[in-house]
Amino acid sequence: YSSVISYLVITVMRTLGLLLGLFATVSVCTVCTTPAYNHTNCGPGTTCCKFHWAPDGYGCCPYPEATCCKNGYTCCPKNSRCVDKGKSWAVVTTCEPEGKLGDQVCKPGPPIPFSKTKPNCLVLGDSVSIGYTPHVAAALKEQGICEVQHTPWGGDGGAAETAYGVQCLDYFLSSPSGVKLRPDFILFNFGLHDGPLGNTTIPGQNGLPKDYLAGLTNITERLQKTGTKLLFALTSPVMCNKTRDNCVINLNNQARKLMKSKGIPTVNLHDAIVNKCGPVPQPACMGHKGCWCPHCPPGYKWLADSTIVPAIKKVLAGEEV
């Protein structure tokens, strides 16, 4: 009997060890008490953290057993201490004792399950893209072309700077619950948060122009590996400030050259808006002060209908943009 008891004890201990090891590698956010498509679930090697920009209140940190900073925006590696400078969305965290910058927690991907009967299209981009996406979605749905969602799911600057895109792209291409998505088409954009809005580094908000091309190249090559049809949107202008808009033009030139080398078509949001509003700088556009500096709610439908939707339709039809 003693040998049988010993065998049972060893078996139970091994089973518990396997289970504990499994649970240690997967971080399921406390909000996800029952499986749900739009509740955040972080995968192996990451940590679930409270996050103000996520609609369900949680996002994913790219470190295992990470320190989730109390500010509700950033995180640091395991056993680090968060030292914050600034407040709210502009907080910059230093992880001590390493002395490295903390990462902004990743926003989740699109919240609505993909259609099984129609093509699925994603718009991956900044806060301007958040503004025009509902109009793109309405037009393409009405025409029976595809179902459109924005990724990431959340407010603020959307996909923000390229460094944040490199860090969080896998989450942007997954459902909040962790289901890998296979869209039929992706319109993507980076640039506005890589210098034009401020020549400072705030993880998850702003990056530097010198880092733009390397980050965009990383994102582009990873998107190409998905096999989906791609269209890059050249960044919209900063109509009220010529210095900032010159930075946009510089980044657009880099992006245009990269996309040409990768065989990816582009749609020029910058020139479409400047042709409508006049040369930069302009204090007002389309009858509204500060329009396209960089946002313009009254102009989002016009941009979608006149420029973005026709380009998407051409790409989906296999035509040259």
DSSP 8-state symbol, 74? E
* Chain segment 254-276, per-residue pLDDT in tens: 999 999 999 999 999 999 999 99
d(CA 110, CA 103): 21
pLDDT at position 29, please?
A: 52
* Chain segment 219-245, per-residue pLDDT in tens: 999 999 999 999 999 999 999 999 999
Which regions in the chain score pLDDT beneath 70?
Answer: 1-38
* Chain segment 18-52, per-residue pLDDT in tens: 333 333 334 445 444 445 666 788 888 899 999 99
3-state secondary structure of 97: coil
pLDDT at position 10, please?
A: 31
Other C-beta atoms closer than 10 Å to the C-beta of 204 total: 29
Other C-beta atoms closer than 10 Å to the C-beta of 64 total: 15
Where does residue 276 fall: left (phi above 0), alpha (psi -120 to 50 degrees), or beta otherwise?
A: alpha
Place of tokens 């389309």: 286
